[in-house]
Amino acid sequence: MVDKIKFEGEFELTDEMKKQFDDDGFIVVKDLLDKEVIAQMWKLFEGPDGILKHSYETTEPDGRKILRVMYQHAGTDVSGMISRSEKIVNTCEKLLGGEVYHYHGKFILKNPKEAGSHVWHQDYGYWYRHNLFPDMITVWMPMDKATRQNSCLQVLKGSHKCGRIDHIPGKGTMQTEADLDRIEALKKVCPHLYCEMEPGDVLFQHCNLLHTSSPNDSDMRRWAFVACYNKASNDSFIKHHHASYTKLEKVPNSAIKECKNYKDFSGKEFTDPITNMEDRKHFPPSSVQG
């Protein structure tokens, strides 16, 4: 289990929270998004013109499937308002110590009984090929209750301090796996935690934090929304399938609930590495982590 940060009123990162992130490699903020916002998010998936029309399916190391939607820019729909909101972006900027931009966003959709695992990895294990420094952060937001049974995120607390470790492409998958001998050694000194979270909880994760998730053998769905940010000063030195620096236009937190756009995804620039061969040329083996 992980400790969750509780707050009253408008959320603002404190020095104590920043220290916890620096020490542990992540923080979890309880109820940063309320039930109304989660309900808005689900509207993105309704009907033939919903965001699922941009989805693609991958085969994972265990032979099971995971459904994903991935795009470069935040856009103006409800998910974009969340990704551009002050409470998300300002927190990322304080944690990284400077201006950030939207590197990419995605939905990772683990369906009951059929969804595969994510092997142990660091996000920077993928991203370092195009970015010089680990000045990058992932914001993980469950849309369903995430538990041990339905494949919640697992982390090695404090493992970001070991720096980037070697990753190798998985066999028959688009995933890349961190050095397993090193993982086993790190488990002896870095607590292995299960990030059980409720819809509305938000996890801010350093790009070098080691994490994994198991197959979903349960009867419960586990869908999650993920927004990834890069520090503006760390703009990718090689252009690739994720976004280069584009100034991120923040919006007030109130813009989330005011947004009624659930179907216009213009400007997001969806990426499908399975069917779009032009995009696929730019993907290193296994670059659709989650």
Specify the number of domains making up the chain.
1
Among 137, 95, 283, 122, which Cα is nearest to 212's? 122
* Torsion angle of the four alpha carbons 114, 38, 145, 28, in this order, in degrees rounded to the nearest 10: 120
Residue 63 is predicted with a pLDDT of 78
When pLDDT is averaged across residues 213-224 and rounded to a whole number, the result is 93
What's the CA gap between 127 and 141, in Å, rounded? 20
Residue 274 is predicted with a pLDDT of 63
Owning domain of residue 178: 15-280
Structure-model confidence comparison of residues 73 and 178, the more confident one: 73
Assess if residue 286 is contained within a domain.
no
Cβ burial, residue 1 (10 Å; 0-12/13-18/19+): exposed
When pLDDT is averaged across residues 164-168 and rounded to a whole number, the result is 85
Assess if residue 94 is contained within a domain.
yes
Tens digits of residue pLDDT in 236-260: 999 999 999 999 999 999 999 999 9
pLDDT at 168 over 50: yes
Q: Write out the two tokens for 139.
A: 């914001």
pLDDT at 42 over 80: yes
Assess if residue 4 is contained within a domain.
no
**What's the CATH code of the domain at 78?**
2.60.120.620
pLDDT at 286 over 60: no
Assess if residue 285 is contained within a domain.
no
Backbone angles phi, psi at 96, to 5 degrees: -95, -15
Cβ atoms within 10 A of the Cβ of 162, count? Answer: 17
Assess if residue 159 is contained within a domain.
yes
Assess if residue 172 is contained within a domain.
yes
123 in Cβ contact with 228 (< 8 Å):
yes
Residue 281 is predicted with a pLDDT of 46
Assess if residue 5 is contained within a domain.
no
pLDDT at 140 over 80: yes
pTM above 0.85, yes or no: yes
Instruction: Indicate the DSSP class of residue 175.
Output: -
Query: Could you give the angle at the alpha carbon of 80 between the alpha carbons of 137 and 116, nearest 5°?
Result: 60
Q: Write out the two tokens for 159.
A: 């493992």
Assess if residue 149 is contained within a domain.
yes
